[in-house]
Each structure stands twice: as C-alpha cells, then as structure tokens.
Chains A and B, each alone.
Chain A
Amino acid sequence: MATTTATVSISSSDLQPGNNLSINASSTLMKTGLTTGMELMDMGLGHLTQASGRDALHEALGTTDSANWVYICNNSTDDQQYMKIGIHETVIGNLGAGEWLWMPWNMGDVDAELNIEAEPSGTIPYEYAIFKSAPYTLPVSTPA
C-alpha cells in the first residue's frame, strides 16, 4: 500500500522566554475519501522569470473535489526575490528566498489552478512536488 508521510518540525531557541519552541506534527497523505495512498506525483525543478508574469504550476481538474498536496520551495539565494503563490485570482502566499510551503490543494473548481509568479525581477530557481489522488483522463488520440 502506498504510504506517504509528511512531517514538520518547527523549532526556535529564542522565541519563547525560558522555553524552547519545538512543534512536531506528522500525517499520512490520504486520497479523497480518506483512503491511504497517493499514487501520482509531479516533482521537478524550474526557473521562473519575472518577465513571464503569472504562470500556472498546475491546472485544476475542475471535476470532483480531490485531495492533493503541494510542496513549493523558492531556491533563490537573493533575499530580494520572492515568489507569489496563488489559486486562480487569489494570492495566498509569499515565498521568500529559501522558504517553502506545504499545503493541501483542492482541484475541484475549474478556477482553482495553482499559480506562481517571480518578483520583483530576474529569474528564481524553484522546486516543487505535487502528490495527487485523482487520476488524469488521457486525451483522445487524433490520428495524423
């Protein structure tokens, strides 16, 4: 059985006086309907240019709701560069140089594509992984 586990630890030695911060959480990725086992994964590296504007990292299925998980990391070493993360027209996050996010993403609405955009200038290297529970329907082959 496919079992993908995501774990986060968040620590700090100086955020809480007299008490080191140490948050730990772990979860197993579930398909829609709480079945264990995400079986589709997109993973890769890319370069995002400011000039290209807003790009879709992944299109939504626009059919039924599905459980999907997204990891995106801004690999820039220039602390002036950041990535805007959006779902369709809504900006939801801002990844500074070296920062990452991990969040669920529901593809159920056709207007729910996942967008990324480089700001304020130049090219940003990034990496991503999307764990998906809903299979794609292959397009019909058109004979030449």
Chain B
Amino acid sequence: MALEPTLTINDTTTFSDAISFSVTDSLTAAAPAQALSLVNATATGAASIIVPASTAIAYLFVRHTGTTDGSTGTAQLVDVEFTTNEAVARLGAGEWLFMPIFHAGEDVGVQLQVAHASIVQCEYAYWTKG
C-alpha cells in the first residue's frame, strides 16, 4: 500500500529571497495502521495512546486542532511523547507534525499529554512502515 506525503514550505515576506520548496516521497505502508481519528488529550498521557507499543517504525501525523471539543478554542500545548514519557515534540494550536517515529527498536508506544489540567482535541493517523 502506497502512501505519498508532501511537505511544502512557503515564505515570501521574511527575506529578500523567497522561500519555496516542496518535497514528496512514496512510502510503503503496512498494518497495523490507524485512519485519521480524533482524540481528546488530557494531562494523563496514558489515556491518549495514539500508537500502541511496537518495535516498528510508524509514519505518524498529529495535528493540534486548537480546540477542546471541535469548537471551543484553546491554546494549551500538547506533548507528543513515547509511552516511556520521553518527549518527542510539543505542538501549539493549529500545529502539526509528520515523521517516521521510532524509539531505537524498543517496544513502546506514542501518547499525547497536555501540560496542564485541560483537554485538547487532536487529529492523528499512523501507518506502520512496510
């Protein structure tokens, strides 16, 4: 099964030379996978495990929706971390990441955790590298 991610970066205002580049790739995806889904991240990371424990590489997409429930806005930050509580990245409202996440072959998962006692609705999907 083929997965084609494309990243485009544009900036025409910061420098006198515009930034404009795009990169794409054709990836082979396999099971297990999770189609685009919503999760309400809280201050308890273990309650929002988005990639179950595995030793495999997973192509992971996560987006902070900027809301608590799809409509109520929030600026709370969300940590993307391994289920061993080791931090990978921190997302603000509206931000997203895409990466082949991997923890050196250790049998761990990925979870989302809000720094404060709050709820942040996030969108995510993952596909195991085939």
Note whether A and B form a binding pair.
Answer: yes
Binding site for B on A (CB under 8 A): 1-16, 21, 23, 25, 27-28, 30, 34, 37-39, 41, 67, 71, 73, 84-85, 87, 90-96, 98-106, 129
B119 CB-CB contact with A under 8 Å: no
Q: In whole Å, how far is A79's beta carbon from the nearest beta carbon of chain B?
A: 10
Q: How far is the CA of A95 from the CA of B26 in the complex (A)?
A: 13
Is the contact region of chain A dominated by helix, strand, or loop, or is it mixed? strand
Q: Is the CB of B9 within 8 A of A10?
A: no
Instruction: Give the interface size bracket for B toward A.
Output: 35 or more
Kindly list chain B residues whose C-beta atoms are within 8 Å of the C-beta of A15: 1-3, 29, 33, 127
Q: In whole Å, how far is A48's beta carbon from the nearest beta carbon of chain B?
A: 16
B53 CB-CB contact with A under 8 Å: no
A102 with B99, Cβ < 8 A, contacts A6-B7, A12-B29, A23-B125 known = yes
B19 CB-CB contact with A under 8 Å: yes
Q: Is the CB of B92 within 8 A of A71?
A: no
Q: In whole Å, how far is B103's beta carbon from the nearest beta carbon of chain A?
A: 6
